[in-house]
Each structure stands twice: as structure tokens, then as C-alpha cells.
Amino acid sequence: MGKITGFLDYKRQDFKIQGVTQRISHYHEFAVPIGETDIAIQAARCMDCGIPFCQSTFGCPLWNLIPEWNDLAYRGQWREAYERLEITNNFPEFTGRLCPAPCESACTLSINDAPVTIKQIELAIIEKAFQEGWVVPYPPQKSTGKSVAVIGSGPAGLAAAQQLRRLGHQVTVFEKSPKIGGLLRYGIPDFKLEKRVIDRRLEQLISEGIVFKTEVMIGEDISAHYLKKSFDSILIATGAGHPRDLQIPGRNLKGIYFAQEFLTNSNLFVDGMIDGNQLISCQDKTVLVIGGGDTGSDCVGTANRQGARRVFQFEILPKPEEWKYKWNPYWPNRPDILRTSTSHQEGCEREWSVMTKSFSGRHGKIEKASFSRVRWDRSGKSLQPDMQEIPDSDFELNIDMVLLATGFVHLVHNRLIKDLRLQFDDKKNLRVDEHFMTSVPGVFAAGDAAKGPSLIVKAIYAGREAAKSIHNYLMC
């Protein structure tokens, strides 16, 4: 029930973070932990709504029981709060750090006030749980004798693996990289998610009896057919790793990287897996990040930590509306407003409605990029606004490095997919039915591999739901 007048009595207080100069000197997480009392006060702001929008299709895709654990956090019942959190979410420590928190923009308080700091409370609960040793393995009591191969160890694969294991199945997770975690480990910079957080969770998964096989590329190292024969069911959770390219003149110059390549490289470096020579370094360089999304923002943060001289981030879409109030004008929908991430605060020049037209350079290496400005027109008949170049708006910049953060299009169509002859949907992701089954019986797919790039919470949810379907498939 929270405190009945909590939302009137207390103001929202979000994560406290280190100052810019301090935090860009390292790759660690920089949020300053908040004391339990302060978290309880924040939780007291929850109104325990008759209809909790945080828990709707506008809010948490995991259907987290937010009002329930808010109340428990407010009353200092951390153990029970953790128990309620754990019902829906396998990995609150990931979502509590990385989730864009649609729950908060859907929070009923944000109709006319600042929403409850749901994400912060979630994180506090799970960190408390780890600290108190409440996060213990739940190995199954009975074995079903069925085996499942999970391909890919990102959030969807891990969630599915845990759910399946707890239902008594023998679960093996295959990962092509040296360590488990997928995008969590290689896509997300450490300053957003320290890798020890993943390792901590892996301990539980391993204790529950999940077998992890790293540096195995299914389809190459192990044939798809062999896998299919060896396991009763297969779950493909390989993510949507095929990046969107920018085919413009000068694209093949050196110094132009896909964001993912850059970020993975940086993470390997931070993890000590590669040394300085192998690092794609931004040090003393003028870096252009193309693409205004979260990946772009991660590139900005990483570039600054590597000591970039100057960082630009250009987006072709128009600049979103600026909104200075604490409430959400588009409640309960996620507002299309200008967001400034902590990475942006660390130093970068952002521009919108800018189209990159070409790259040029000498010795096969990029030195310049040319742009023009565009105008977006919403008056046209089609739902998508029309884009028009503004005449005589061309300009050029000297650039040493370009990071393409223009998004992903679909999963990588590797041998596994080809050998199993899986069918695609119109976006070239795997076609699955309502039970997450692909066109091949017994082969399931979940997460970005099936639905295209999306949020981590959706991946966890898909993993859990796919596990249910696989269980039903195996047990019937």
C-alpha cells in the first residue's frame, strides 16, 4: 500500500551519479548507491493503483509486480520484496541497470508529477538480495529426462535456460564468444553494466545445473543436424546481430566501424582479453557517431573514456521535442522527447536532421565527412513523414573515426539457420508461431532473433515464455 500520501509528501529522487570528470576516468559503474531509508521513501511514493499502468502493455513487458514490491520496499520487507520480484524477473540486476523503464513513463504519477523511481527500487531490491545471500540456486527436484539446447547466451537465452532447468530439463547453453552473456557482456559498456554482475548470476545458473559451452559456433563447430539429433529441443536465441549499413561513397575507408564491433572490442579490452594494440582506440581523435540511439550513446561514452578529442553524434531524424517538466505529456505511452544520457553529458556535439552524404580521405583512411541538412514534412499522405534535403545546406567536417550506430536489421543468417532451413518473416527474422516455434518442429526461437532488435526486458520475457512452450512441447 505504500504510504497513502507518500506521493504528496516526498519528491522523486533518482540515482545519484559521480561527476563527469571523475566518471570518464574509468570504465566502472558510476551510480552512487542510495541507502535503504531513501529507497523506502522513494517506494512510499507508489500509490498502489487500482490499475497499475506500470504493469500494463504500456509499462513493464515482464509484468513485474511493481506495486507489490514497492510496498514491501517501503515497509523494509526486503526479503519478501525480492520474492515478489523474482516471480516475474530472472535478472533484475540487468534490467535495474539497463532497462529504459517504460514502467516509469507509464506510472500513473507521471500523469502530472514525477514517476516513482521504479528502476532504482528494483535494483536496490536485487542488490540487497545478493548482499544478503538470498539469491540461491533452485535446482530441480526431479529430472524430466529431456534435454534442450539453447543457442546464444544473451538475456533471452539465459532466461529460457533458467526456466527450463527449473522445470527439470537438462539444459546446455552454447555461446560462440569466449564468455557467457551475449550483448550483455559484449554490447553494453562496463560503465553501464559491470561484468561481475553477469558472473555473479552465472554462479547461480551453473549451480542449478545448466551446462555452458563457450566458443562453440553452432553450424560451424557442431553441425545443426547433429545438435538436433542430440537434443529433444532447440532454442535459438542468437539475437539480431546484422547491423544496418550506410552505403555511401567512401564507406570502405579505414576508420569506419560498426558500433557493435567497436563496443565489443572495447569490452574485451576492459576485460583484459585483448591488449592495447588490438584496441580500436579513439584517443585524440575526432569521432563521428552516426545514429542517435542508445548504441550511439554508448559509443559516445566509450569514445570519451578512450580520450577522444571531439565527439559528434548525428541523427538523420528530426530533433525530438524538448520537455522540461517532470511529467509525461504522452502518458502512458513512452514520450517521444529529447533524452540526454549520462554519456551525452560527458561531452558530445549532437545534431539532428543531418544526412551523411559521403566520406573521403587519403591513403584509404577517412579524413572528412560531408553532410547536408534535411527537412521532415508530416503533411504528406503517407504515415511516414517525407524527408527533403534543404538546398545549399551542405557542410563538411574533419573526422578521424566513424562509428555506425544505425541499428540492426535482423539476425545473422548463419549456417545454423541455413542448415535447419528455417523460414523468415518479412523482416528476415525467424518466423515463429504463437508458441515461439519456428517452421521446424522442436526448434524454437526467442528474443531479438525472432522479433528483431528490442529491449532487454522483452528478451527476458520472451525467453521465459518460450521456456513454457518448450516445456509443454516436451511434456505432451
Sites of contact with another protein (CB under 8 A): 1, 4-5, 7-8, 47-53, 55-59, 63, 65, 67-68, 75-77, 80, 83-84, 87, 106, 108-109, 111-113, 138, 140-142, 166, 332-333
**Minimum CB separation from another protein for residue 207, in Å?**
14
Residue 56: CA count within 13 A, CB half-sphere:
16
The letter for the amino acid at 30 is F
Nearer to another protein, 56 or 177 (CB): 56
CB of 83 to another protein, least distance (A): 6
The single-letter code of the amino acid at 262 is F
Task: Output the smallest distance, CB 115 to another protein, in A.
Answer: 11
Minimum CB separation from another protein for residue 109, in Å? 7
Q: Within 10 Å of residue 187's Cβ, how many Cβ atoms?
A: 20
Does 332 sit behind a cis peptide bond, omega within 30 degrees of 0 on the bond before it? Answer: yes
Distance between CA 104 and CA 302 in Å, rounded? 27
Q: What span, in angstroms and rounded, lies between the C-alpha atoms of 446 and 155?
A: 10
Q: How far is the CB of 87 from another protein (least distance, A)?
A: 5
Contact between 95 and 456 under an 8 Å Cβ cutoff? The reply is: yes
Burial class of residue 454, CB neighbours in 10 A (0-12, 13-18, 19+): middle
Count Cα atoms within 13 angstroms, Cβ side, for 329: 8
For the chain, first and last CA: distance in Å? Answer: 41
**Can you tell me the distance from the alpha carbon of 265 to that of 259, in angstroms, rounded to the nearest whole number?**
10
Residue number, 142 or 362, with CB nearest to another protein: 142
The 3-state DSSP class for residue 87 equals helix
Query: Do residues 457 and 118 lie in contact, with contact meaning Cβ atoms separated by under 8 Å?
Result: no
Smallest gap from Cβ 122 to another protein, in A, equals 17
Joined grid coordinates for residue 11: 519528491
Shortest separation between residue 456's beta carbon and another protein, angstroms? 19
Reduce the DSSP state of residue 363 to 3 states and report it.
coil
d(CA 77, CA 134): 13
State the nearest-atom distance from the C-beta of 40 to another protein, in Å.
Answer: 12
